[in-house]
Structures are given as C-alpha cells and as structure tokens.
Amino acid sequence: MFKTTTRGINWNRLSLLLMILPFLILIFLFSYIPLFGWSYAFFDYKPGLGLLHSPFAGLKYFHLMFFEQGSELLRVLRNTFALSFLGILLSPLPVVFAVLLNELRSKSFRKLVQTVTTLPNFVSWIIVYSIVVAFFSTDGVVNQLLMKLHWISEPTQMLSNSEGTWLFQTALGVWKSLGWSSIIFLAAIAGIDAELYDAAKVDGAGRYRSIFHITLPGIIPTFFVLLILSISNILSVGFEQYFVFYNPLVADRIETLDYYVYRIGIATNDVSFGTAISIAKSIVSITLLFSVNYLSKKMRGQAII
C-alpha cells in the first residue's frame, strides 16, 4: 500500500520522482540546453568573434546545403544510407546469437562465449584499427598466410579497396557489437515465463519448437522497439569508426554524414554550415521516429511513443 497524508500526497511516488530528478536535470543540462547552439546556423559565426558580433545570415546555410552543396551532400547521404541499411539488414544477428547462446547447456561455456563476444565492445576503435592493420594490410598476417598457401598471388587491398568498404566496415561493426547487442535479448529471454517451456515439454515440444513458438515470440517486441530506434537513427551511423579508417583511397565511400559535419564544422571552421546540417539531420531523425512509430501502431497495434 502507498503511504499518503491527509491531503492525499503519495509519498512513495514522490520519493521515486525525487530519485529520478538528478537524471532529469542531467538530461536537461546536456540534451536540451545545448540546443541553443542551433542559433549558430542563422549567423555568419566566426570562432573568436562571438555570436553577438556575427552578422545575421537567415536561411543562407540551409540554402547552401540544399542547392549549392547538393551533389556533395547526396554522396555523403548515399554512404550513410548504405551503411545504415546494411546494419539494419543484419540487425537480426544479435537475436539469433542470443537464442543460440541461451540454448547452450554448459553454463561455464556460455559465460565464456558471452564474455569473449562482449569484450570487443569495450575496445577503442583506435585499437581495432591497429589490429585490422596488423591482420589485413598488404603485409599483414592474413595476406602472408594466404600467399604462403598459394590461395592468392598478390596481397589484397582490404583497407584501400573502395568497392568493398561498405561490407568491410559493416563486418567490423557487427564483430564489435554482436555480443553487447545480444545482452538485451538475453534479458528478454530471461523474462519469459519458465512455465511455458515446461508446458511445451509436457505437450511433446522439442527444443526447436520451443524456440520458434515461445522464445522468438517472447523477444520479438523487444526486437521491434530496437528496430524502430535504429530506423529513426538511420542518419547516425557513428563517427569514430569511419574517422579512424578514413583515407584518401576510400574517402568517397566512407565519408558519412557525421564525418561530413565534423569536416565542415571543425576541420574547416565553418561552424554555421555544420550546425545547419546537424539541424536538418535532427529534424529528419525525429520525423522518421514518429513515422515508424505510427506505422508500428497501425500494423502491430504497439508503439514506443
């Protein structure tokens, strides 16, 4: 029972609100107050002069983005969408991995596999780049081994092959995040009522029938929530990975929207133009979130908002 006073104040709920208040303050400080920075997109801002001493530019940088830099922006969007769609296409892999991991009989071996596959998530992309260079450069371990086995006649250019950049970067992303991404699905599986599995065994269902009729239906809602969030963040495929692996030979294929904003806003000091691109990106992401959420509500009867 909730404790209340004579005036009907629910002290238990009030205490819960006070517990989350510090986190709400942090979200407000780091997520909403920085939105003031959007004002830089409407001024000819130069670092060091200050916003008050910068002339008003209106929609100049939005016009520049859509009409004068359209071809370059389309190239960047092509890379962003391609990498995002590949990531979404492979999004069921953590589900499959979580199900297979859950079916392992040996708890010690299961913990070992989960630990080994989760560790790459905590490895910096700088370290990953060093490992990839050691293995996949022209004089790396993989090329030397394949040449000694006479499977190839000359070294493959994995890090400078622009045609295979999307697939190579997607594979690295999956390797790094597979174990970590499966944790939430393992938690969803743990939340399934164990009596359902017991009833299925009584009815003669084997492991495969239990997976397809109990486990998968139990984690599908979680998968759809993450899928909706992934689609809404389709323009945010990350920055660190592509910043580290960026080189002139693959620049045309690896430059994503986040890297483009960095190059425009930081590397060339065009803060106003970079801010305008970020605003457009945020608007598109919010629109996608509400659109996909609406479709999910109409088609599945469930939504996250």
Beta bridge partners of 43: 56
Rounded Cα distance, 46 and 43, in Å: 9
DSSP letter, residue 54? S
DSSP category for residue 55: P
Rounded to an integer, what distance in angstroms lies between the CA atom of residue 117 and that of residue 125?
Answer: 16
pLDDT at 9: 66
State what percent of residues in the chain have pLDDT above 70. Answer: 96
Tokens read off for 284: 């598109």
Asked if residue 160 has pLDDT above 90, the reply is no
Q: Using one digit for the tens of pLDDT, what is the confidence trace for 161-198?
A: 888 899 999 999 999 999 999 999 999 998 888 888 88
Query: What's the pLDDT band for 79 if we cut at 50, 70, 90?
Result: very high
Q: What is the pLDDT of residue 12?
A: 79
* pLDDT tens readout for residues 8-32: 567 778 888 888 999 999 999 998 8
CA dist., res. 6 & res. 1, Å (int): 15
Residue 278, C-beta contacts closer than 8 angstroms, at least 6 positions apart: 38, 41, 261, 265
Helix, strand and coil in the chain, % to nearest 5: 75, 0, 25
Provide the pLDDT for residue 8.
58
pLDDT of 63 = 87
Give residue-wise pLDDT tens across range 198-237.
888 888 888 888 888 889 989 988 898 888 888 888 888 8
What are the φ and ψ backbone dihedral angles of 162, each rounded to 5 degrees?
Answer: -65, -30
| Helical spans, DSSP H, in 119-254 | 125-136, 141-148, 165-190, 194-202, 207-210, 216-232, 240-245, 251-254
| pLDDT score at 117 | 92
Give the type of residue at 208: Y
Collapsing DSSP to helix, strand or coil, 43 comes out as: strand
Quick check: 4 pLDDT over 70? no
Average pLDDT over residues 155-160: 82
For the segment 141-155, the average pLDDT, to the nearest whole number, is 85
What does the pLDDT look like over 83-114, one tens digit per residue? 999 999 999 999 999 999 988 888 899 999 99
240 has a pLDDT exceeding 80: yes
pLDDT of residue 172: 93
Q: Tell me which of 47 and 211 has the higher pLDDT.
A: 211
Q: Please report where in the chains the tokens 């002069």 appear, as a residue.
A: 49
Query: What does the pLDDT read at residue 7?
Result: 58
Query: Whole-model pTM above 0.75?
Result: yes
pLDDT of residue 230: 87
> Which domains can be identified in the chain, with CATH numbers?
64-300 (1.10.3720.10)
CA distance 305 to 294: 9
Q: Would you state the pLDDT for residue 292?
A: 83
DSSP 62-74: HHIIIIISHHHHH
